[in-house]
Amino acid sequence: MRYSNIIGTVRSCIWLASLSVSSLVAADSIHAGKAYVKDGSFESPTAGRTWRIDFVRQENEKSTQVEFAHDGRSYLGQRALHIRSAGQGSGYAIVSQTITFPRPHPTVLYVGAAVNAEVDKYTKLYAHAKVEGEDKTVHLTSATNFKSTQGWRKENVKWTCAGKPIRSVRLMVIFNGTGWALWDDLQLTTQPRGASPLAARTPWLTIPRVAQKPTNSDDWQSAQILSNFTLLGSEKFADAQTRVRLCYTPEAIHVRAECDEPLLDPIRNSTTAFRAKVTGRDAYVFADDCLELFFDPDGIRSEFTQLGVNSLATQWDARKGQKAWDGAWSAKAGKGTSNWWCEVEVPLQDLGLSAAEEKAGTFNVARERKAVTELSTYSPLSSGFGEPARFATMRLGPPAPSVEVTWRSRSEALQGVEYRVHNPTGEAQPLVCGLAQSDDERRVRELLQHVTVAPGSTKTLAMDIPREELNWTRSRGFVRGRDDGRYLQITPWFQTKPSGIIASFALESTADFTVTYNSHPLNLAKGEGNRWLGKIRLHEGNNALGIQLSNPGKWRCRVWDDKTTLNVVSDAGWMTCTAEPNPSWVRRTFQPSSGTWAHVAPASPPAAEETWAGAEWIKGAAGSAFLRHVRYGMTRYVPESSQAKRYPFYEKHGQIAKIYTLNPGSHTQPDYEMVIETSPAITLNSPVGRLNYKMRSFVPTEMVRTKLPDGWERNTIRFSNYLWPHKDAATLTDDFSGVNKHGLPLLARPVAPGPAALRVYGRSRKGFITEVPRLVEYDRQPFPEGRRLPGFEVYMWGNPCFDHAEGDWPHLLDMYQAAGITTCLLGHLGGGDPMVTPRKHWRWSTGHRDGYRQLKRFVSYAKSRGFRLSANIHWPIDQPDWLKDHPEDGAVHAGSAGKKHKTRVPMVLLLDRQHGVYAHWRERLTACLRDLPLDEVCWDWEASPFLGSYDDRTLAGFRQYAKLPKGTKLGEEIIREGDTLSEKWIAFRCEQVVQVSAAMREIIREASPDTVLSFYSGYPHYSRSKYTTDWEALAKVVDVALAGYHALWNGNARILADIMGAEGKPSLPGLDIYARSHRAEMLGVKLAQALTEGGRGAMIFASGSSNMNLTALASVASVTRFLPELEPFLLSLDRQDRLVEAKAPATVLKHGDRYLISLQNRSSDPVDCALRWKGPEVRSVRVLGQKDSKRRVPREIALQPSSVTWVVLQCAD
């Protein structure tokens, strides 16, 4: 049952009677029967029911038979109110209930309902509200009309009542007409349906009022407490947690933050790593470990006031992006031995707030740790702290209990929430502590516990998520008043569907001991003899199991799962720390050591006891602490999801299985092995020979195949060198960039019928990492064979020559060809002698001696298979070599803040044919074209010195270009501040780009007359952006335009197509699949969009992508397969979008008397798309891919998830 800040909940005669949630009862015995319409009313005969059914007859109308009943069927998960009317006339049936509020409510309410009706006229949904202090009834807004409605329709209506508080509401369901109608899930709320505090995606916080400014720890007990900080862009909890207390007085909001910091622990001798240097008002505190507060008092979620403070109480502030603003707020701060703290006082006047109004604003608090690069936040954010749309909702409220809701993973393998409630008021506070849960369909339910907290007392309680209810995938904790329903706190949503596994734990010890799992005591049950038993949940990431001895003795233990795929025993892999009274159990405290413990011979266990095989007895002194990490999810399959998801596996081709590893430790692993077990239906190509161009030392050197008893095959892959630790071992975030660093794209190919599946895991032969296998199951599917068509090019930008072993190339190019790929656009080209400096021809290659030779072999082989070959020139070509010998020619370029420290050769020198650097890059480019038979060279402008440099030579050239007086003072700040100068500077930079492009094309044509020049710019045509490009001028000197991957949805692709088309040259929009959020199955939709926007194909930016697999190629093939039929429409490009109305993005192209409709489903769910044709008379309709034609345009078309449906109409002349 869902209650979303419900004032009154009426389940359409399903839930009746009082407003108290606990007293709602099911109306299974509601009256069902027939009656003729007559004047007057009919009361339900069931005792205790408050519903009334009114039958009213209009004047001069004949009798109408009305039936009010439950028909026994289920609608939307509940039995719905069913009213049926038959006969003559238009009588109407009214079902009503009056709800009186304990106190007046705001003037705005929302009513929601689900309605399904089939009537000849209309139905109405009405409500009446009784205004406080007046006898009259105010009629709240409108009616909803239905005519032959198909299926359920959800309604959400906002009702405003004359600007006065509402005392009571009479809810009525009104039926008018002949036919039938069903109503379900009727609710009255203060929030829109589906946007109530519990259903909303953002947290909720009511800040309590206190009598005076808090000055000590007792005063701060009255403040609300926020905890459970998560990492930026993730739902994983931060390694170093933060607790924030908030309250307010009539003058100000008071905030105290306590920031855990292991680096300040003296035992670690790492205090120097903690950053605390910045001083002075408005100094850049973000260079230090700091706390940031964000206030949006108006709740508009677009602008905010930002405050920053470090451990030295240095203050920084900005209001609505204006850094010049200085508020009257104050701060103080300090450091301890395990944390640092700060207290901030923010005047309400600074925020535009008044203590007298309960206005809903938004708020967030975030934190930066510099030593380990950890960014954490209270409200989960996706990409940066400045995301006000995701901030918590904040209200100023009356004095109220202080609440802390802590999310935890309990040691008994259950997940749950702990509540700590302190009542500083003078009255007992009846509260509801709850757990809201959402399933995959976003339905919300509550699990509740009622508690009454006496004045001045504190209560704690916990709620667990039952294991049998794991279909509820997300949860959040909340506390609200039992009487008034006011929410005190609602936490963010967290994933609760377990991605880990339940494992058994057993321990034997001759000494007294303490067992800790993930920093929580593990509760064990006594078994036979000295054995203790328990259960743990292995979560995604690092799981730390700790054992401490209270007195000298020996122990042994084992961790295993039901399928015996996991077996962790006491052995040399355990870590230990020196004896101390209370070990912190922070993993960096522990170092591998044998100084305080030793192995002893097994104590002769029973011969039949196989479960302890391999477990060693370990002896320890009093106080010795031992630690073991059990990693789940260290080795990952991309795209990653729950174990239950099945991925496509294509007949004939198979799948590109991308698997990567994150080292969860703080030390390198010299003995890591990746293990992939394949079912009998598939085989795995060996990756040996892959050069891994981004992680040169970590390459596969051996793959050993072993047949298993169950018919599966184990493929054990070993690597050169060692596995580096994750860049932030404390957080172990899901960093999908690891695919290129510590990962492998592997070709899994079909060899026999039957189920296709992998078991993926990693192991360390000597280290402490133990990996839990992950099952990856596939669904076998046919591959939609794509087509190639002259005049339409599909580029694949990537480095298959390095990412895949040479033995993979035939199968990989088979996949490309089947998808309709025509061109391989390879990675960043350089120059030089490949035998002396092999990296010069391929600047980002492996550095391997054979790297350039492998590149040449791939180019030759791909061309023999009919592919075009293009190579990307990364700007600048070998400039580091030139600047090494000619440092005077370098200038700091202004491309971006992250690259300002780098020097580049200014373009004024590159264009100077008398300067040596011109001959240098000309010779490099010529050498590349002499060695590689390329069809195209692509200049990647996005990786270039976008804004140039503000050196004397460039400024002199700009002064001459802009015809400025010799004495005109120039510089970066002057150019950026002056509108006139900035516009001229942009034009100057654009002209230089055109000149370099022209020079490059001249060099290319001299070295290889048939090679063309393409230009890549990822951003809009000629704007004030740093990626400024004058395409109208470039179109005259380049042969192909690659528009970048941000041009599809904003119209820039169409603009560029028109510009290049005027010169008779093609443009290819970019298709983005480089980020984690880019779904592989959406690539076909993006390709269709590119074609209908005028692109003569598209460029797939797959370089380094974790999402580029055969699913993406199949999505491309689903579009290219229709290219011969689409060609005439795409060439004419006569857009007629106004001729169709559709419930999905639609494009209409005209060619002669035929029309092509492109319907895009960009969601991951199937869609029934309503369609209305407003063009000429239709003679025939055909959906491409279907054999049969139709005479009429269908009113509705079923669209498959993430797909494009093409409809061709033959119309009258």
CA distance 571 to 576: 12
pLDDT at 482: 87
One-letter amino acid of 452: T
Choice between 182 and 899, residue whose per-residue pLDDT is larger = 182
Predicted confidence (pLDDT) at residue 193 exceeds the cutoff of 60: no
Exposed, middle or buried: residue 348 (CB in 10 Å: 0-12, 13-18, 19+)?
Answer: middle
CA–CA distance, 208 with 396 (Å, rounded to integer): 6
Lowest mean pLDDT segment, chosen from 293-307, 591-605, 733-747, 844-858: 591-605
Mean residue pLDDT across the chain: 76
In this structure, what DSSP letter does residue 74 have?
-
Question: pLDDT by residue (tens digit) across 522-548?
Answer: 888 898 888 899 888 776 666 778 888
952 — pLDDT class (breaks 50, 70, 90): confident
pLDDT in the model for residue 465: 73
Give the range among 389-393, 694-698, 799-803 with minimum mean pLDDT. Answer: 694-698
Residue 968 reports pLDDT greater than 70: yes
Give the pLDDT score at 224.
95
3-state secondary structure 381-401: CCCCCCCHHHCEEEEEECCCC
Give the pLDDT score at 561: 75
pLDDT above 90 for 803? no
Average confidence (pLDDT) over 854-867: 93
Nearest alpha carbon to residue 639 among 44, 1076, 142, 984: 1076
Q: What is the pLDDT of residue 75?
A: 34
pLDDT in tens, 1033-1076: 999 999 999 877 655 656 778 888 889 999 999 999 988 887 66
- The lowest-confidence range among 335-349, 733-747, 1103-1117 is 733-747
Q: Please state which of the ranges 8-17, 734-743, 1095-1104 shows the lowest mean pLDDT.
A: 8-17
Q: 970-1019, pLDDT tens digit by residue?
A: 876 666 655 677 778 888 888 888 998 999 999 999 999 999 999 988 65
For the chain, which domains are there?
6-189 (2.60.120.260), 200-399 (2.60.40.1190), 400-496 (2.60.40.10), 501-632 (2.60.120), 635-781 (2.60.40.10), 793-880+902-941+995-1124 (3.20.20.60), 1126-1211 (2.60.40)
What the block records as the tokens of 129 is 């509200």
pLDDT for the residue numbered 682: 96
Q: What confidence tier does 1211 reach under pLDDT thresholds 50, 70, 90?
A: very high
Q: Flag whether the pTM goes above 0.75.
A: no
What CA–CA distance (Å, rounded) separates 3 from 9?
A: 8
Candidate from 5-9, 188-192, 344-348, 627-631 with smallest mean pLDDT: 5-9
Between 861 and 603, residue with greater pLDDT: 861
Q: 307: which residues sit within 8 A by CB, 6+ positions away? A: 292, 293, 294, 295, 315, 316, 317, 327, 329, 344, 346
**C-alpha angle 1137-1140-1142 in degrees, rounded to nearest 5:** 110
Whether the predicted pLDDT of 673 surpasses 80:
yes
Average pLDDT for 307-331 = 93
Which tens digits make up the pLDDT trace of 480-537? 998 888 899 999 988 776 556 778 889 999 999 988 887 677 888 898 888 899 888 7
Q: Can you tell me the mean pLDDT for 669-698?
A: 81
Token pair in block for residue 976: 């950026």
1121 φ/ψ angles, rounded to the nearest 5 degrees = -60, -25
Cβ-based neighbour number of residue 466 at 10 Å: 11
Average pLDDT on 145-170 reads 58
Looking from the CA of 1119 toward its CB, the CA atoms found within 13 Å total: 29
* pLDDT higher than threshold 60 for residue 457: yes
Helix (H) or strand (E) holding 1070: strand 1070-1072
- Name the pLDDT band for 806 (thresholds 50, 70, 90): very high
The pairing of beta strand 361-369 with beta strand 374-377: antiparallel
Give the mean model confidence (pLDDT) for residues 79-104.
52
Report helix, strand or coil for 554: strand
Q: Is the pLDDT score of 598 beyond 90?
A: no
Q: How many angstroms separate the CA atoms of 1197 and 1208, rounded?
A: 13
pLDDT for res 358: 66
* 3 state DSSP class of 889: helix
Q: Which residue did the predictor score with more confidence, 765 or 352? A: 352
**What strands lie across the sheet with 92-105, from one edge to the other?**
41-43, 52-56, 92-105, 166-176, 122-131, 137-139
What one-character DSSP code corresponds to residue 203?
-
- The angle at the Cα of 985, spanning 983 to 987, to the nearest 5 degrees, equals 70
**Rg of the chain over CA atoms, in angstroms?**
35
Lowest mean per-residue pLDDT among 378-392, 465-479, 579-593: 579-593
- What is the per-residue burial (b if ≥16 Cβ within 10 Å, else e) of 354-374? eeeeeeebbbbbbbbbbebeb
pLDDT at 700: 87
For the ranges 363-367, 508-512, 1098-1102, the maximum mean pLDDT occurs at 363-367
pLDDT range class, residue 433, cuts 50, 70, 90: very high
Higher pLDDT, 358 or 838: 358
- Residue 1000, SS3 per DSSP: helix
Residue 475 CA: distances (Å) to CA of 198, 434, 864, 1137? 10, 10, 56, 43
What is the per-residue DSSP string for 1119-1132? HHTTHHHHHHHHHH
- Phi, psi (deg, nearest 5) at residue 431: -130, 160
Query: Which segment, 220-224, 463-467, 844-848, 960-964, is predicted with the most confidence on average?
Result: 220-224
Task: Note the Cα 1177 to chain centre separation in Å.
Answer: 46
Give yes or no for residue 145 having a pLDDT over 90.
no
Look up tokens 């009784």; give the residue: 130
Q: Which of 440-449, 561-570, 690-699, 767-776 has the lowest mean pLDDT?
A: 690-699
Cα distance between residue 828 and residue 515, in whole Å: 53
User: Residue 746: which of 796, 695, 696, 677 has the closest Cα?
Assistant: 677
Give pLDDT, residue 902: 64
Answer yes or no: is pLDDT of 185 > 70. Answer: no
Structure tokens belonging to residue 337 = 């031995």
Query: β-strand 108-119 against 64-69: which pairing, if any?
Result: unpaired
| Strand ranges inside 485-613, DSSP E | 487-490, 494-495, 501-509, 513-517, 520-521, 525-526, 531-538, 541-549, 553-561, 567-569, 575-577, 597-600
The confidence score (pLDDT) of residue 1013 equals 95
Ranges of beta strands (E only) in 297-428 are 305-310, 315-319, 330-335, 339-347, 361-369, 374-377, 392-397, 402-409, 415-422
Q: What is the pLDDT of residue 173?
A: 61
- Please say if the pLDDT value at position 657 is more than 70: yes
Cross-strand pairs, 376: 231, 367
Contacting residues for 474 by C-beta, under 8 A, at least 6 apart: 437, 438, 493, 494, 495, 496, 497
Mean pLDDT of 639-667: 75
Is residue 1148 predicted with pLDDT exceeding 70? Answer: yes
Q: Give the per-residue pLDDT at 485.
A: 82
Q: Which residues contact 810 (CB under 8 A, 6 or more apart)?
A: none
In Å, how far are 282, 371, 1025 from 279, measured between CA atoms?
9, 19, 34
pLDDT the model gives residue 581: 46
Share of the chain above pLDDT 90, in %: 34
Ranges 352-361, 685-694, 729-738: which has the least confidence = 729-738
Lowest mean pLDDT among 95-99, 698-702, 1180-1184: 95-99
- ∠ CA(493), CA(499), CA(505), 5° rounding? 120
Tokens of 884: 């090494």
Mean pLDDT, to the nearest integer, of 199-228?
92
Question: At 233, is the pLDDT very low, low, confident or very high (cuts 50, 70, 90)?
Answer: confident
In this predicted model, what pLDDT tens digit does every residue of 263-313 receive, in sequence order?
Answer: 887 766 666 778 999 999 999 999 999 999 999 888 777 789 999 999 999
Taking CA 766 as the corner, what is the angle to CA 765 and CA 771, rounded to the nearest 5 degrees?
A: 55
Residue 878, pLDDT > 70, answer no
